[in-house]
Amino acid sequence: MLTVSQISKRYGDQVILSHVSLVVNPGERVGLIGPNGCGKTTLLRIVAGEETPSGGGVSFTPPDLRVGYLPQGLEPPPDQTIRDLLYPEARRLAGLEAELETLGHHLAETPTAPDVIAAYDRALGQIERLGALYVPEQSAVILAGLGLDGLDLDGPVGILSGGQKTRLGLARLLLAGPQLLLLDEPTNHLDITALEWLEDWLAAFSGAALIVSHDRTFLDRTVTRIVALDPDTHGAVSYAGNYTAYVEAVVRAREKQWSQYRDQVVEVERLKHDVQQTMARAVRKENATKDSTQRRYAKKVAHKAKAKEKRLERYLDSDERVEKPKLSWQMKLDFAEVAPGSQEVLRLEGLAVGYPSTGPLLAGIDLRLRAGERIALLGANGTGKTTLIRTIMGELPALAGRVRFGPSTRAGYLSQEQDTLDPDGNALETILAVVTQSETDARNFLHYFLFAGDDVFVPVRDLSYGERARLMLAVLVAQGCNLLILDEPINHLDVPSRERFEQAMATYDGTVLAVVHDRYFVDRFATGVWVAEAGTVRPYLDREDYLKVRVHGNSEYPLAG
């Protein structure tokens, strides 16, 4: 269905892709993964025909294969209606139907006119093709699944949020009837319900898909093969199975390489020691006697030592030599020690949050957050999760009730919009503004967050979302916060960075309240779950209890007290 042959891409002297090849067969779901900046989006754009490769080629089978491409960002004209965005062929379909009606009148008058018959058949064929792409029942299912069923289709796109635009782009793509899907981060801005709906839709999809995603649970549930782009070689390696199978394969290969490397180190040391001993014996023999026979023997021993040294050099230069495994270029986080907190870190009493002009989004919230808990705040988009977080942090006034922090609680906030950073500052200035330390110490500290060399001088406005998220985390760590309040902390991080983030969370002694949609992160990280639903926030014992209640809809599975 799709064949990518020896694709290379460079921008000037910078190599992005080098001789990348892959095949996507009918019915396959292939996950394309790799750290940010390794060329995933570039490869999708090349396959979609939006970018030209420096070498290699792309072919489709059949050549007229319908390809649907979902880019990361969708910015349609703000005055375009939602209907026109979702159904770009609707106006053409209406025009064809009017044309068909006119041709029908002509046929009634001249039923044997060949040009009228041909035009009628042509218009009818086009209507049938376009009509097949617009099935009201199917449209309703897709819009509802993505949480868009309440939109006014005649309203302008400009009034929608970025997340709604992204979901509209996905809906438009699915409605267009593609045979091959190219999806670049389709899970961004989807809540758990919409994520699971998309997983079910893909499971029933008869075509094929090439998917870039940082959502590991989504990859586990949708793909049957992983293609990993290597940021060092700029090539690609294919692995059978889902994301978990890929991780297991990489770990096994890494362990095997480490074992071979350790054996090699022992063997090299043995050979070096043998060379040194043989050479030392020759020197001792030659220095200990003036007898010509013995000295000739000493020279033979020295020659033997030289031969062993040459063999060692050839071994080290040979293809048999095993390279020392490289650590993946992942986010290196090491949370500073945090001040001990009180047993009760945060209490919400009769809290209502929202805006006076529109009324409360959430009300009747009575919750306690205890020291050491890691709570995932879940809920559909638009339910008020971010509004609750901003109210807790004092950025919005409570409509009712109150927020109480423990006496020794020091809260740090990572906002979804990343608007707590000064766009005119850089990483080094940002850290030096919150801690007293030398520039050298600050640069060493930032290195743990992947700001190396001159990266520390790049203005915040020029940083990517992932880089800004890492910088904001660095600030929280440097301040020694014992309560981290995180709004979508890993939304813009690649998979390696997400995993290092989780490792950091595992060693962090403080308390965490995090709005998050990454189910893999929730499963590995959360000790409890709060869910924004039905106009309030309900605490569940854990994520599994939440899923059971949501699926079964009964009281058999109790809420946390």
pLDDT by residue (tens digit) across 296-333? 766 776 777 777 777 777 777 766 676 776 655 444 44
Q: What pLDDT does 485 receive?
A: 92
How much of the chain exceeds pLDDT 70, in percent? Answer: 82
Q: Is the predicted pLDDT of residue 496 greater than 60, yes or no?
A: yes
Question: In sequence order, which residues have a C-beta less than 8 Å from that of residue 272 and are 6 or more positions away?
Answer: 312
Express each pLDDT in 170-192 by its tens digit: 888 888 788 999 999 888 777 77
Express each pLDDT in 401-423 by its tens digit: 999 988 778 888 887 665 678 89
Output 245 or 72, whichever has higher pLDDT.
245
- The pair of three-digit structure tokens given for residue 544, joined into one six-digit string: 């599994």
Binned at pLDDT 50, 70 and 90, residue 231 comes out as confident
Element (H, E) at 228: strand 225-229
- The pair of three-digit structure tokens given for residue 41, joined into one six-digit string: 């989006």
Residues 485, 493: Cα–Cα separation, whole Å: 17
Q: Please name the fold of domain 2-89+133-241.
A: Rossmann fold (3.40.50)
Q: What pLDDT does 91 receive?
A: 63
Q: What pLDDT does 553 receive?
A: 41
Question: What is the pairing mode between strands 208-212 and 29-33?
Answer: parallel
Residues 360, 127: Cα–Cα separation, whole Å: 48
Q: What pLDDT does 21 receive?
A: 95
Express each pLDDT in 30-52 by its tens digit: 999 988 788 999 999 999 999 99
Residues 193, 190: Cα–Cα separation, whole Å: 8
- Which residue carries 């649970």 as its tokens? 217
Binned at pLDDT 50, 70 and 90, residue 517 comes out as confident
Report which listed range, 295-299, 398-402, 508-512, 542-546, is most confident: 398-402
One fold for 2-89+133-241 and 344-552: yes
Instruction: Report the pLDDT averaged over residues 288-293.
Output: 66
Q: What pLDDT does 43 receive?
A: 95
Whats the size of the chain, residue-wise? 561
* CB distance 105 to 75 below 8 Å: no
Output 155 or 42, whichever has higher pLDDT.
42
Report which listed range, 43-57, 112-126, 372-386, 429-443, is most confident: 43-57
Q: What pLDDT does 448 receive?
A: 72
**Which contacts (CB < 8 Å, 24+ apart) does range 321-324 have?**
321/264, 322/257, 322/260, 322/261, 322/264, 323/257, 323/261, 324/261
- The structural domains of the chain, with segments of one domain joined by +, span 2-89+133-241, 251-317, 344-552
Output 537 or 145, whichever has higher pLDDT.
537
- The pair of three-digit structure tokens given for residue 375, joined into one six-digit string: 């709570």
* CB distance 310 to 449 below 8 Å: no
Output 140 or 213, whichever has higher pLDDT.
213
Nearest CA among 133, 130, 124 for reference residue 93: 130
pTM summary value: 0.59
Q: What pLDDT does 239 receive?
A: 94
* CB distance 467 to 482 below 8 Å: no
Q: What pLDDT does 331 receive?
A: 44
- Please count the other Cβ atoms lying within 10 Å of the Cβ belonging to residue 457: 12
Q: What pLDDT does 67 receive?
A: 92
Question: What is the pairing mode between strands 483-487 and 411-414?
Answer: parallel
Answer left, alpha or beta for residue 133, where phi above 0 means left and psi between -120 and 50 means alpha.
Answer: alpha
Q: Is the predicted pLDDT of residue 425 greater than 90, yes or no?
A: yes
Q: Is the predicted pLDDT of residue 7 greater than 60, yes or no?
A: yes
Averaged pLDDT score across all residues of the chain: 80
Question: For the ranges 332-341, 385-394, 520-529, which has the lowest average pLDDT?
Answer: 332-341
* CB distance 479 to 412 below 8 Å: yes
Binned at pLDDT 50, 70 and 90, residue 124 comes out as confident
Span 344-552 CATH architecture: 3-Layer(aba) Sandwich (3.40)
